[in-house]
């Protein structure tokens, strides 16, 4: 009687609550559907890609007839002969810089040298994202003559106001000059000489011939650092006097001393890095490869890529490539998926002609290879070239690598190549020069599936959102499930006890039970932070090999973990239920992934692919369930595989094995890899240690959970 | 009344004028009375009523008359078609003066009233509120003939009085200076001076002097004004930074305007605002953007010492083109139809590397008004084969002539000009080389030859011993249409020289990246000029003034001023002698920094840095091209101890060239304009922003209200009571719903 009244008076919960309860009760089905849908959409991405288009009307690429003529190509050839001669009697590449400077000066442009030291990167956990700090001022040893010289030429736009500048970069190695580097220098010079006579410039032109003996990126970033964050207290003076090599350049010529002063143009509007790669003998057309990924998955504005692509393909007849995973191109399973999507697409097309999902098999495979490389390069968070240095200063930049198909001896073919390359660069400069505002119209968040196809943020977010969607539901279901189970258990234990005492029990151990799980989570997070900071101290050890370092790292991590357990008690001793533990873990990774997707989406996407199944599958190995042997075995096996794959060193090993085919275990490799990540201050490092590693450890905890005492008690009862 | 007495020619004229006006008014009022009487009789009114009807009207008329005589500015507003009529007036003037005799007598075109009105209204400007001449006052319908007769009489009398009183006359001179530059370019500097004697002697009428300018000066009580339109940058390293030409004619890109007012301090800001609008109308430029208090400032001593009556504003983004040149040319008596100004062929001068057109006014009770109009262009002369020099051709200077530079020849002078001369200046660098080679500095020496023999050679001396440059003078009045004037320079030997630089190369740049903060850095690099001039005492010091305006959204922290000399940090008090800072106020005032620095002579380089935060603007405060970034106008650096003056030992008073005499200025240089990228909202996505924000707000308030207001226990109790009612209500609701659905489908 009483209960019936209660039921009657119980107000109907609101729709959203009911929906939540419904989803939670079917959480397994829901998560299976969402995850598989997420993976399917991810695979569908290549067919969802759209063609690129120019958003900014001011760019009008290719509307002007290129002025770069055969005379400029001859000029380039002349320059090449000159610099070859200069290189012949060079001492450490200084004569080359001198020759370039002299040539620039003859054009009537301003010129200056920029000297820099190799930049040794250290792990500074506190300055992780702000590595543009002024740690350039490494005290050079008195005998250190090993420094690079960038030669910078600046054209002041005849009628411009000098507020903005366009930067052209040609890297070359002053120590060992290849003929293709000379070719790229010659190309750069001939374009620069053309621009020095151009009356239409409205932005200044800066030509940086970057001395890449310490790497292209180092040279460009050193110059950019000096451009944006110069250090005044005595830096340049000491620098000059201490470096002995400085005397070579000037031979006491006082007039040239003005080359010393660092010269600047205005705010940079865009930068174009171009170099000539190895010449090929085969292939029908000269090709250009575009590299755009900067640090932490930042991309330049899509319009810049569009301009380059449009001019290269439709005006100069280059073939434009982007980086691709070539191993995927020949993989059979990808072809099967492509066939499947193709047939599916044709069927859908018949239903509704507006659904254009039927992508040709070849296109799909190509698109996937490009997309995979695009996602991978963004996820690693390391720039793919010196354009990354520009992006650190919010300058849109793209690297072009020309791959000409001619014999170096063939002068005619070389001139033709120079002509087309020069026209391409001139056209891009012209377009950027037309801009009134900085690049802002087009996309900044996109993946490329082909040079002229892209997937914008609105589309590529869908698979990630689908993968992430079940997490809160599952967490809620687990938390709820553990509570109801406990209630049942309590009821069965204390049937005779009064109502009041059960209430008391519940308030004590029941609704606050999750705090125990949260404590475990916090301890593990703390451990992860400490582990991520350890390399800072390990790098201080002099002369440590990577293997030693990584062993020390692993040992210290384990010691810290044990110490933390000793201090705060073992996770199992407090009697934490595995369901609650799993629920907290899932909550924490959904927060972690959500945050990471803002910092670097690609990392979060790849991480979600590994971690979300790992978390959802995880259950104690000892846990009993009413399942048959086969499903249980499958569950166990998948649990163990996912746990192995989820461990970062193991994942690295598998990746290496898959890509190179060598399965040798090298412990030092992991250290080298991590070093690589923090040297480039990639957020992927933080992700690995602050989100991925604690989650993996929690998974292991869940797997090894000795199962709840309550359950045992229930059994005993 | 005060203004009238100031501007009226003489007591005699004034008396005459008043007498005539009174007479005229009576005539007018008489005419009106007749009219009123006529109309009233038509309506059948009585005499008393008629008188009453006429009374107030007359009073109003008188009032209007008074206002008119007090030279109301409002009258100018009516003339929106002013440009047309002014053009006509200008043409009229030009014609009148080309026909005029050398005595420059006034010939009044008195044929028709229309003509007269164009004569009297050479006024223009969209919202130019200029004083109207008193005589135009009564806008009365035609009692015409009597009025007109009086006016003619008055004019004749006034003209006679003016002519008899005026000893000084209005003058116009035109000059052109050409100079080869070290980097294979050529500089052309046009100089036009119009001057008018003090107003008292000549009245409101001008023969040569542009009336718009004199009205401007009188209305706004300007004692000095300079307005420059510039495109391109002056290259201080190549084109010189020390000689008078570069210090006075190198201007920052865009528009720069400053004016000194002869007014009480409280009225200056309002007058400045009106002035910007007037100039904006006069020169077809958006100078009126300087009206807002966020864009101009009142420097005390950093720019030019004054008593607080100077206002300075700059618009770095203003584009300069022919539409600004045309009104500028209209101020010249011959426009660009004759004389030196006819060389200004637009395609040639706008093709150049630097273009700066300037208007400078000086006015005082004793001087009258002097209007200097200069135009400075740096051109790349076409070489003989019409091709620009390629790098492989070495450093050979191109030979050029006026025809090469401008595509025009000079066919005689502007007839009303007092003098019309062309100078070719040869730099100190070349003169030194010639002297060293031991040859004569004639127009045909071993380095170059001029195409015509000059009328005179003027030598500019430093310290009475060292010659700095030499100037070849040509008088244009010797040439005519049949015998056009063309002068050029042909190089015989390749020559490399450099111009005298300013004491320091100053450059300014931004440091830092991102949208949050940054720093402005000013760097000085010594050119060791002081050693050449003052010898080399080591314990001396060089003074430098810095004047810098920063818009309010660049929030400069002035306390963060840091000074590095030769790489060592110095305390501010060591270097800064005097500093005056007006901090910026959001949306009200720009920040102004005036500093007097004292650098040691031995210093090679110095850097000043100032940190700033980037501010946020309201969405409607962004300009249409917000993504371009925002400009910080050029800073001005002047070196008070260095005067770039010219000394001509053989200067005779007959020389009388304003172009050469004017050169007595402190060496100064402008820095680059800076572009600061600020945070810019995505203007194309207001819809997304609104929907997102609204959703979040709704969710937040919904849950907050739920949490605060909802009491589960009470609800249950309520429910128990109202189960029945609820049932009824739900029934009602379902009926309503059904009805609604029925109506829908």
Strand-pair category, A319-322 with A287-291: parallel
pLDDT for res A503: 44
Cβ neighbours around A603 below 10 Å, total: 27
Question: Would you say the C-alpha torsion A291, A294, A297, A302 has a positive or negative sign?
Answer: negative
pLDDT for res A670: 86
What is the token pair recorded at B68? 């008119």
- Whether residue B301 is contained in a domain is answered as no
Is 80 exceeded by the pLDDT of residue B560? yes
CA A605 and chain centroid, separation:
11
What is the token pair recorded at B146? 């009597």
CB neighbour burial string for A388-405, b if at least 16 within 10 angstroms, e if fewer: bbbbbbebbbbbbbbbbb
Tell me the C-alpha distance between B171 and B193, whole Å.
8
Question: With bands split at pLDDT 50, 70 and 90, how would you rate the model's confidence at B149?
Answer: low
B523 and B405 co-located in one domain: no
B601 and B698 co-located in one domain: no
Tell me the C-alpha distance between B224 and B307, whole Å.
13
Question: With bands split at pLDDT 50, 70 and 90, how would you rate the model's confidence at B247?
Answer: confident
> Hey, is the C-beta of A228 within 8 angstroms of any chain B C-beta?
yes
CB contact (8 A) between residue B232 and residue A159:
yes
- Whether residue B594 is contained in a domain is answered as yes
Q: Which of residues 660-719 of B touch A (CB under 8 A)?
A: 672-675, 677, 680, 682, 715-716, 719
The angle that helices A411-434 and A179-196 make with each other, rounded to 10 degrees, is 50
Nearest to A402, CA basis, from A425, A386, A380, A426:
A425
Q: In this predicted model, which residue has the larger pLDDT, B363 or A282?
A: B363
Tell me the C-alpha distance between A575 and A517, whole Å.
9
- Whether residue B61 is contained in a domain is answered as no
pLDDT for res B101: 34
Nearest CA-CA distance, residue A44 and chain B, Å: 27
Q: Which of B630, B653, B676 is the last residue of a domain?
A: B676
pLDDT for res B708: 84
- Whether residue B399 is contained in a domain is answered as yes
B543 and B648 co-located in one domain: yes
pLDDT for res B641: 85
Tell me the C-alpha distance between B492 and B396, whole Å.
10
pLDDT for res B147: 56
Q: Which residues pair with A205 in a beta bridge?
A: A155, A166
Nearest to B603, CA basis, from B525, B537, B502:
B525
B363 and B485 co-located in one domain: yes
pLDDT in tens, B413-468: 888 998 899 999 988 888 888 888 877 778 888 888 898 888 888 877 665 555 67
Q: Which residue of A has its CA nearest to B677?
A: A267
> Hey, is the C-beta of A319 within 8 angstroms of any chain B C-beta?
no
Q: Which residues, at least 6 apart from A205, have a Cβ–Cβ distance to it below 8 Å? A: A154, A155, A157, A165, A166, A168, A192, A195, A196, A265, A429
What is the token pair recorded at B200? 């008292």
Calculated CA dihedral for residues A180, A182, A183, A189, nearest 10 degrees: 150
Number of domains, chain B? 3
Are residues A148 and A116 in contact, defined by beta-carbon separation less than 8 angstroms? yes
Q: What integer is the mean pLDDT of B206-219?
A: 89
- Whether residue B31 is contained in a domain is answered as no
User: In percent, how much of chain B has pLDDT > 70?
Assistant: 70
Q: Which residues, at least 6 apart from A540, have a Cβ–Cβ distance to it below 8 Å? A: none
Nearest CA-CA distance, residue A72 and chain B, Å: 10
CB contact (8 A) between residue B512 and residue A228:
yes
pLDDT for res B148: 59
Burial class (CB in 10 A: 0-12, 13-18, 19+), A560: middle
Average pLDDT, whole number, for chain B?
A: 76
B364 and B483 co-located in one domain: yes
> DSSP characters for B546-557?
EEEEE-TTEEEE
Tell whether domain A57-118+134-323+386-453 is in CATH 3.40.50.2300: no
The H-assigned helical ranges of B521-641 are 529-534, 572-575
- Whether residue B1 is contained in a domain is answered as no
Q: In this predicted model, which residue has the larger pLDDT, B603 or B663?
A: B603
Mean pLDDT by 10 residues, chain A (717 residues): 49 76 88 94 92 91 90 91 80 79 89 83 63 44 66 91 93 86 93 91 94 90 91 52 40 51 90 89 81 92 95 92 86 90 89 81 92 92 92 93 81 89 95 91 92 93 94 88 65 49 45 80 92 86 84 92 85 75 91 92 92 88 73 85 86 77 75 85 89 92 75 53
Q: Which of residues 185-224 of A touch B (CB under 8 A)?
A: 193, 197, 199
> Hey, is the C-beta of A587 within 8 angstroms of any chain B C-beta?
no
Nearest to B308, CA basis, from B580, B555, B557:
B580
Are residues A473 and A31 in contact, defined by beta-carbon separation less than 8 angstroms? yes
> Hey, is the C-beta of A240 within 8 angstroms of any chain B C-beta?
no
Q: Which residues, at least 6 apart from A296, have a Cβ–Cβ distance to it below 8 Å? A: A381, A599, A600, A682, A683, A684
pLDDT for res B596: 94
- Whether residue B328 is contained in a domain is answered as yes
The angle that helices A179-196 and A94-106 make with each other, rounded to 10 degrees, is 20
Q: What integer is the mean pLDDT of B51-66?
A: 40
- Whether residue B13 is contained in a domain is answered as no
Of A161, A221, A298, which to mutate for an interface test with B (greatest number of B Cβ within 10 Å)? A161
Is 60 exceeded by the pLDDT of residue B154? no
Can you tell me which residue has the tokens 């008074």? B66
CB contact (8 A) between residue A160 and residue B511:
no
Query: A178 — phi, psi (to 5°)?
Result: -95, 160
CB contact (8 A) between residue B723 and residue A8:
yes
B487 and B510 co-located in one domain: no
pLDDT for res A625: 64
pLDDT for res B135: 36
pLDDT for res A601: 93
Tell me the C-alpha distance between A470 and A493, whole Å.
34
**Cα angle A588-A589-A593, degrees, rounded to a multiple of 5:** 125
B555 and B670 co-located in one domain: yes
pLDDT for res B51: 39
DSSP B410: B
The H-assigned helical ranges of B613-711 are 658-661, 686-709
Question: Would you say the C-alpha torsion B217, B222, B225, B227 has a positive or negative sign?
Answer: negative
B455 and B529 co-located in one domain: no
Whole domain around residue B738: which residue ranges?
Answer: 687-744
Calculated CA dihedral for residues A24, A27, A33, A37, nearest 10 degrees: 70
Which residue in the set A9, A158, A436 is minimally distant from B625, CB to CB?
A436
Is 60 exceeded by the pLDDT of residue B590? yes
Q: What integer is the mean pLDDT of B697-721?
A: 82
Whole-model pTM: value is 0.81
CB contact (8 A) between residue B673 and residue A161:
yes
B238 and B178 co-located in one domain: yes
B581 and B607 co-located in one domain: yes
CB contact (8 A) between residue B231 and residue A392:
no
Are residues B607 and B654 in contact, defined by beta-carbon separation less than 8 angstroms? no
Length of chain B: 745
Q: Which of B625, B653, B676 is the last residue of a domain?
A: B676
How close are the terminal C-alpha atoms of chain A, in Å?
31
pLDDT for res A661: 65
Q: Which residues pair with B523 in a beta bridge?
A: B507, B607
Cβ neighbours around A326 below 10 Å, total: 9
Q: Which residue of B has its CA nearest to A234?
A: B567
SS3 B226: strand
Q: Which residues pair with B668 in a beta bridge?
A: B638
Distances B348 to B325, B403, B423 between C-alpha atoms, Å: 13, 10, 20
CB contact (8 A) between residue A233 and residue B568:
yes
Are residues A682 and A384 in contact, defined by beta-carbon separation less than 8 angstroms? no
Tell me the C-alpha distance between A146 and A347, whole Å.
65
Query: B163 — phi, psi (to 5°)?
Result: -60, -40
CB contact (8 A) between residue B388 and residue A156:
no
Q: In this predicted model, which residue has the larger pLDDT, B327 or B642?
A: B327
Nearest CA-CA distance, residue B325 and chain A, Å: 16
Q: Which residues from chain A sit within 8 angstroms of residue B629, using beta carbons?
A: 163, 267, 438
What is the token pair recorded at B369? 């008004």
Tell me the C-alpha distance between A519 and A514, whole Å.
9
Is 80 exceeded by the pLDDT of residue B5? no
pLDDT for res A710: 54
Tell me the C-alpha distance between A698 and A519, whole Å.
12
> DSSP characters for B492-536?
SS-----PPPPSEEEEEEEE--SSSEEEEEEEEEE--HHHHHH--
Q: Which residues from chain A sit within 8 angstroms of residue B570, using beta carbons?
A: none
**For chain A, domain boundaries:** 57-118+134-323+386-453, 518-716
Tell me the C-alpha distance between B370 and B360, whole Å.
8
B700 and B622 co-located in one domain: no
Q: Which of B676, B710, B726 is the last residue of a domain?
A: B676
Query: B273 — phi, psi (to 5°)?
Result: -60, -45
Query: A373 — phi, psi (to 5°)?
Result: -65, -40
B538 and B646 co-located in one domain: yes
pLDDT in tens, B174-189: 999 999 998 888 999 9
Q: What integer is the mean pLDDT of B203-215?
A: 85
Distances B501 to A467, B356, B600 between C-alpha atoms, Å: 67, 20, 18
The H-assigned helical ranges of B44-167 are 47-69, 74-77, 82-99, 113-120, 144-165
């Amino acid at each position: 009687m009483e209960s019936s009244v209660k039921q009657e008076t119980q107000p109907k919960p609101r729709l959203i609550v009911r929906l939540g309860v419904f989803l939670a009760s079917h959480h397994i089905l829901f998560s299976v559907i969402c995850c598989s849908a997420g993976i399917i959409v991810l695979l569908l991405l290549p067919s969802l890609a759209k063609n690129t288009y120019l958003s900014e009307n001011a760019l009008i690429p290719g509307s002007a007839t290129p002025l770069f003529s055969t005379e400029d190509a001859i000029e380039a050839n002349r320059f090449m002969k000159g610099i070859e001669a200069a290189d012949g009697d060079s001492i450490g590449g200084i004569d080359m810089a001198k020759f370039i400077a002299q040539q620039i000066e003859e054009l009537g442009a301003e010129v200056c040298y920029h000297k820099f030291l190799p930049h040794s990167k250290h792990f500074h956990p506190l300055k992780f994202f702000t590595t543009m700090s002024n740690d350039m001022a490494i005290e050079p040893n008195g005998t250190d003559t090993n420094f690079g010289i960038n030669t910078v030429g600046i054209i002041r736009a005849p009628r411009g106001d000098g507020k903005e500048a366009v930067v052209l970069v040609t890297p070359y190695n002053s120590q060992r000059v290849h003929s293709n580097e000379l070719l790229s220098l010659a190309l750069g010079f001939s374009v620069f000489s053309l621009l020095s006579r151009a009356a239409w410039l409205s932005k200044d032109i800066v030509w940086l011939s970057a001395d890449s003996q310490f790497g292209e990126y180092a040279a460009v970033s050193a110059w950019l650092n000096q451009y944006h964050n110069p250090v005044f207290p005595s830096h340049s003076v000491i620098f000059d006097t201490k470096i002995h090599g400085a005397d070579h350049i000037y031979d006491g010529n006082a007039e040239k001393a003005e080359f010393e002063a660092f010269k600047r143009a205005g705010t940079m509007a865009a930068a174009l890095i171009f170099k000539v790669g190895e010449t090929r003998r085969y292939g029908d057309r000269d090709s250009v490869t575009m590299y755009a990924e900067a640090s932490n998955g930042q991309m330049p504005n899509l319009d810049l890529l569009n301009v380059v692509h449009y001019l290269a393909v439709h005006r100069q007849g280059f073939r434009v490539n982007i980086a691709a995973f070539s191993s995927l191109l020949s993989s059979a399973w990808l072809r099967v998926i492509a066939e499947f999507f193709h047939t599916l697409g044709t069927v859908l097309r018949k239903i509704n002609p507006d659904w254009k999902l039927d992508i040709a098999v070849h296109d799909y495979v190509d698109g996937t290879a490009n997309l995979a490389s695009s996602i991978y390069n963004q996820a690693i968070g390391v720039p793919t070239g010196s354009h990354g240095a520009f992006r650190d200063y919010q300058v849109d930049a793209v690297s072009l690598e020309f791959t000409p198909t001619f014999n170096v001896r063939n002068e005619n073919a070389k001139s033709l190549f120079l002509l087309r390359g020069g026209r391409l660069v001139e056209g891009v400069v012209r377009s950027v020069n037309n801009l009134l505002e900085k690049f802002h119209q087009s996309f900044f968040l996109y993946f490329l599936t082909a040079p002229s196809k892209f997937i914008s943020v609105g589309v590529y977010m869908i698979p990630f959102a689908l993968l992430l969607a079940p997490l809160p539901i599952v967490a809620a279901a687990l938390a709820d499930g553990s509570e109801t189970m406990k209630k049942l258990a309590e009821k069965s234990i204390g049937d005779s006890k009064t109502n009041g005492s059960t209430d008391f029990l519940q308030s004590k151990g029941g609704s606050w039970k999750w705090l125990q799980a949260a404590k475990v989570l916090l301890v593990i997070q703390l451990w992860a932070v400490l582990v991520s900071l350890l390399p800072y101290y390990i790098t201080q050890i002099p002369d440590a090999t990577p293997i030693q370092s990584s062993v020390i790292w692993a040992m210290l991590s384990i010691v810290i973990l044990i110490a933390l357990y000793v201090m705060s008690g073992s996770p199992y001793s407090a009697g934490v239920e595995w369901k609650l533990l799993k629920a907290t873990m899932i909550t924490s990774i959904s927060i972690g992934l959500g945050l990471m997707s803002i910092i670097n989406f690609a990392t979060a996407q790849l991480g979600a692919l590994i971690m979300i199944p790992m978390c959802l599958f995880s259950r104690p190995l000892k846990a009993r369930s009413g399942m048959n042997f086969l499903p249980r075995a499958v569950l166990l096996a998948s649990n163990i595989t996912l746990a192995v794959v989820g461990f970062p060193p193991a994942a690295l090993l598998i990746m290496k094995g898959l890509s190179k085919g060598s399965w040798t275990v090298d412990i030092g490799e992991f250290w080298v890899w991590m070093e690589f990540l923090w040297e480039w201050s990639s957020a992927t490092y933080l992700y690995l240690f602050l989100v991925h590693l604690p989650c993996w450890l929690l998974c292991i905890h869940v797997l090894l959970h000795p199962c709840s005492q309550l359950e045992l008690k229930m059994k005993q009862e | 009344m005060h203004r009238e007495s100031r501007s009226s020619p003489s007591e005699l004229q004034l008396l005459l004028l008043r007498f005539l006006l009174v007479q005229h008014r009576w005539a007018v009022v008489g005419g009106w009375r007749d009219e009123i009487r006529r109309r009233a009789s038509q309506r059948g009114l009585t005499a008393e009523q008629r008188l009453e009807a006429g009374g107030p009207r007359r009073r109003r008329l008188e009032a209007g008359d008074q206002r008119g005589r007090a030279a109301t500015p409002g009258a100018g507003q009516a003339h929106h078609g002013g440009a047309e009529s002014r053009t006509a007036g200008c043409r009229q003037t030009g014609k009148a003066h080309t026909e005029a005799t050398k005595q420059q007598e006034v010939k009044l075109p008195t044929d028709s009233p229309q003509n007269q009105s164009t004569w009297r209204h050479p006024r223009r400007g969209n919202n130019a509120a200029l004083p109207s001449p008193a005589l135009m006052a009564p806008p009365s319908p035609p009692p015409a003939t009597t009025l007109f007769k009086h006016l003619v009489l008055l004019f004749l009398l006034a003209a006679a009085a003016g002519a008899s009183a005026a000893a000084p006359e209005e003058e116009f001179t035109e000059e052109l200076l050409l100079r080869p530059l070290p980097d294979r370019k050529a500089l052309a500097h046009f100089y036009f001076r119009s001057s008018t004697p003090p107003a008292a002697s000549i009245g409101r009428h001008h023969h040569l002097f542009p009336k718009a300018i004199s009205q401007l000066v009188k209305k706004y009580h300007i004692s000095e004004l300079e307005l420059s339109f510039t495109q391109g940058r002056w290259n201080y390293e190549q084109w010189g930074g020390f000689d008078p030409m570069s210090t006075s004619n190198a201007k920052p890109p865009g528009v720069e305007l400053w004016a000194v007012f002869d007014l009480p301090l409280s009225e200056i800001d309002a007058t400045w605002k009106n002035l910007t609008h007037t100039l904006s109308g006069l020169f077809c430029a958006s100078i009126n953007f300087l009206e807002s208090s966020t864009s101009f400032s009142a420097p005390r001593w950093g720019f030019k010492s004054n008593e607080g009556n100077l206002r300075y504003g700059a618009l770095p983004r203003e584009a300069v083109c022919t539409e600004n040149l045309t009104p500028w040319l209209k101020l010249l008596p011959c426009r660009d139809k004759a004389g030196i100004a006819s060389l200004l062929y637009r395609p040639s001068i706008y093709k150049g590397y630097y273009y700066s057109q300037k208007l400078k006014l000086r006015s005082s009770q004793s001087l009258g008004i002097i209007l200097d109009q200069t135009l400075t262009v740096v051109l790349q002369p076409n070489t003989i084969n019409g091709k620009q020099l390629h790098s492989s051709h070495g450093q050979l200077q191109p030979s050029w002539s006026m025809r090469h530079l401008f595509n025009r020849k000079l066919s005689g002078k502007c007839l009303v000009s007092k003098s019309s001369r062309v100078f070719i200046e040869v730099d100190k660098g070349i003169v030194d080389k010639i002297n060293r080679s031991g040859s004569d500095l004639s127009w045909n020496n071993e380095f170059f030859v001029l195409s015509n023999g000059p009328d005179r050679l003027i030598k500019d001396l430093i310290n009475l011993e060292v010659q700095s440059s030499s100037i070849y003078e040509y008088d244009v009045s010797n040439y005519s249409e049949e015998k056009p004037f063309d002068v050029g320079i042909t190089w015989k030997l390749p020559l490399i020289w450099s111009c005298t630089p300013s004491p320091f190369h100053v450059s300014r740049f931004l440091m830092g990246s991102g949208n949050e903060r940054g720093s402005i850095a000013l760097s000085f690099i010594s050119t060791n000029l002081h050693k050449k001039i003052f010898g080399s005492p080591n314990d001396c010091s060089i003074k430098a003034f810095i004047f810098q305006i920063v818009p309010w959204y660049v929030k400069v922290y002035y306390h963060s001023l840091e000074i590095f000399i030769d790489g060592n940090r110095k305390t501010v008090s060591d270097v800064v002698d005097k500093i005056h800072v007006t901090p910026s106020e959001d949306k009200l005032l720009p920040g102004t920094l005036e500093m007097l620095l004292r650098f040691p002579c031995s210093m090679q380089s110095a850097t000043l840095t100032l940190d700033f935060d980037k501010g946020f603007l309201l969405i409607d405060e962004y300009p249409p091209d917000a993504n371009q970034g925002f400009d910080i106008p050029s800073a001005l650096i002047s070196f008070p101890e260095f005067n770039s003056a010219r000394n001509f030992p053989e200067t005779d008073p007959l020389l009388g060239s304003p172009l050469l005499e004017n050169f007595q200025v402190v060496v100064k240089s402008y820095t680059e304009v800076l572009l600061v990228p600020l945070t810019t909202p995505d203007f194309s996505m207001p819809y997304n922003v609104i929907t997102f924000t609204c959703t979040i707000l709704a969710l937040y308030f919904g849950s907050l209200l739920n949490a605060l207001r909802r009491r589960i226990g009470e609800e249950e109790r309520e429910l128990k009571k109202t189960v029945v009612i609820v049932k009824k209500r739900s029934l009602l609701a379902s009926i309503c719903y059904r009805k609604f659905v029925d109506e829908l489908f």
